[in-house]
Amino acid sequence: MVKGIAASPGYAVGDVFLLEEAEIVIQEEKIKPEMADAEWEKVKQAFAHTKMDLEKTKEDVAKRVGEDESAIFASHIMILEDPTLSDEIEKEIKEDNKNAVWATNHVFMGHAAIFAALDDDYMRERAADLKDIGNRVLKHLLGIHSSGLDDVTKPVILVANDLTPSQTARLDKQLIKGILTEIGGPTSHSAILARNLQIPAVVGCANLMQQLTQDSTIALDGFTGEVILNPSSDLAEEYQKKQKEYLERMEFLRESASRLAETKDGKRIEVAANIGKPENVKAVLDNGGEGIGLFRSEFLFLERSTMPSEEEQYAAYSQVAKEMDGRPVIIRTLDIGGDKQVDYLPIGHELNPFLGFRAIRLCLAEKDLFKIQLRAILRASSHGKLRIMFPMIATEAELLQALAVLDEAKAELRSQNIPFDEAIEVGIMIEIPSAALISDILAKHVDFFSIGSNDLIQYTFAADRMNEKVGYLYDPGHTAILRLIRLVVENAHREGKWVGVCGEMAGDPVFAKELIGVGVDELSMTATLIPQMKYEIAQLSYEELAKEAAEKLKR
Ligand code: PEP
Ligand code: MG
């Protein structure tokens, strides 16, 4: 048995799919002229195979996701068939005597570089397409059969060293029955996405891949972090049974989840959901979410090669506002950086990305980008009840700057006669200890706080939330954290402002008790955790929880 860190609830058992990312090595060689025809033949073959791959992927995506989403692969096929590319490669091989791999790489990457330099979003996206297609051709030329996510064709347990948030976002729930990674912690964004997708997951299983082959089978317990290699058929059956029972229990709880959450002595706690994309709204409503306490808007910025335009963002935020039908939705402005990286934003390489140019820090330096997002949120606010929230605020000065940009965005819309909710509420995340410590000052400028415990814990204990080796320090139940949270709640309530918690601890019934005990007003979590949480809250007495929390804080 291997013990990892439980990251997404549920049980899974099945065949392993090892996700291996092979490295493409390009070597320049001078070939003999008489070899040129054979070398060119290899390229033609690789093009033919790539075309077959793309056609298969196109069909799969059309079936699984939709015709619109599959269109990208049709355009990839068109690019692949553009004779300019193949003519140039042929010339480099036959006239300049370059080897097939080098010539192919040179031509594809050369064209990609030209597109990338153009001042046009559409053209820049084509650069990423060219690189992608070029890499597919190169893999065929080099005989690299690395197993990419597109190769998964039957239900499997996905095993990877790590998954990026963009890879996780692409996962198909019908095929990926469980996720196991060698690194990462329970609050890494890949783990959060796995919970959103309701795929059982265990992370931080060091050296697991070495112990497996593509023929292995595996069982995982997303509650305890236990992983069993090649389970017996009895054990496999037991895991299947447990998963069935778990899903039935979830169904039972979901049925009673439409009620508002209240302790048995009448204290109302708002139970809301965290989402990353408009598609997640359905799960929020199905599970009885009273609102959206955190819309991680940065997920709209991942998995693409250019920034989403104001119109695209407006469409996404409006869709969420409309579908939530008057229930409150907190849109957090862009929190990119840390473990969420995109190539097209000027972040660059950093030694400590979690302590670096992230979230509001980037937005305040790139005001145009920030204002586009604020305009999009404001415009969408005329379609429902939206709230704005700034992430990673460390100082009062940052908050005032962010509010000034918001004022500019509002003034622009007014002068253009574009409607928005003039009374839109604005809040901040409290996820840096400095912000918690000056929360009395910050509370005067905002309507609410939402405590990002994932980061607050990481920064309080100086323990990377992605690093399983320091996982023992990552302790939401530590008195240090509860003291900070109580301080924030007291400071906010004194100013008549409310406080939520949207980090992962809010969805854990054990910690939720302590949060309620120190006076937190709202808990926001993965949608599927809501039914259980509402059930638990109804069994609790606020008076007792307050006493228990006070007791714990005395020490
Ligand atoms: C947090 O830090 O607790 C939080 C909710 O934000 P994120 O996990 O996206 O950093
Ligand atoms: Mg955070």
Query: Rounded mean pLDDT of 490-516?
Result: 97
- C-alpha of residue 453 to centroid of ligand 2, in Å: 7
DSSP calls for 33-46: GGGHHHHHHHHHHH
The ligand 1 atom nearest the CA atom of 453: 3
Closest C-alpha to ligand 1, atom 3: 452
Given a cut of 80, whether residue 119 has pLDDT beyond it is no
In angstroms and rounded to an integer, the radius of gyration of the C-alpha atoms of the chain is 26
pLDDT: which is higher, 410 or 256: 410
CA angle 364, 369, 373 (to 5 degrees): 100
pLDDT for 352-362, tens place per residue? 989 999 999 99
pLDDT at res. 171: 82
- 2-3 sheet: strands from edge to edge: 2-3, 226-229, 217-221, 11-19, 156-160, 176-181, 201-203, 5-8
pLDDT at res. 166: 58
Which contacts (CB < 8 Å, 24+ apart) does range 45-54 have?
45/140, 46/100, 46/104, 46/137, 46/138, 46/140, 46/141, 47/80, 47/86, 47/137, 49/140, 50/80, 50/133, 50/136, 50/137, 50/140, 51/77, 51/80, 51/81, 53/136, 53/150, 54/80, 54/133, 54/136
Query: Rounded mean pLDDT of 306-312?
Result: 94
Catalytic entry in 106, 189, 363, 383: 189
Pocket test of ligand 1: the residue of 275, 300, 335, 362 to mutate, having most ligand atoms within 8 Å of its CB, is: 335
Query: Rounded mean pLDDT of 466-483?
Result: 91
Ligand 1 surroundings by CB, under 6 angstroms: 294, 296, 335, 431, 452-455, 502-503
The ligand 1 atom nearest the CA atom of 391: 6
* Residue 502 annotated among the catalytic residues of the structure: yes
DSSP percent split of the chain into helix, strand, coil, nearest 5: 55, 15, 30
The torsion region of residue 479 among left (phi > 0), alpha (psi -120 to 50) and beta comes to alpha
Query: Rounded mean pLDDT of 25-34?
Result: 92
Enumerate the β-bridge partners of residue 156.
176
Q: What is the enclosing helix (H) or strand (E) of 234?
A: helix 233-255
- C-alpha of residue 452 to centroid of ligand 1, in Å: 5
pLDDT at res. 147: 61
Query: Rounded mean pLDDT of 313-336?
Result: 97
- C-alpha of residue 537 to centroid of ligand 1, in Å: 23
How much is the mean pLDDT over the chain?
Answer: 92
- C-alpha of residue 253 to centroid of ligand 1, in Å: 26
Tokens of 375: 């305009």
One-letter amino acid of 213: T
The ligand 1 atom nearest the CA atom of 335: 9
pLDDT at res. 64: 58
pLDDT at res. 456: 98
Closest C-alpha to ligand 1, atom 1: 452
* 454 vs 188: CA distance, rounded Å: 9
Tokens of 543: 């008076």
Binned at pLDDT 50, 70 and 90, residue 172 comes out as confident
Residues 526/527/531/535 CA torsion (nearest 10 deg)? 40
- Cα–Cα distances in Å, from 441 out to 85, 435, 492? 60, 9, 9
Ligand nearest to the CA of 502: 1
How large is the greatest C-alpha to C-alpha distance in the chain, in angstroms?
88
Pocket test of ligand 1: the residue of 453, 455, 458 to mutate, having most ligand atoms within 8 Å of its CB, is: 455
pLDDT at res. 338: 83
- C-alpha of residue 154 to centroid of ligand 2, in Å: 35
Given a cut of 80, whether residue 67 has pLDDT beyond it is no
pLDDT at res. 348: 82
Tokens of 188: 């890494």
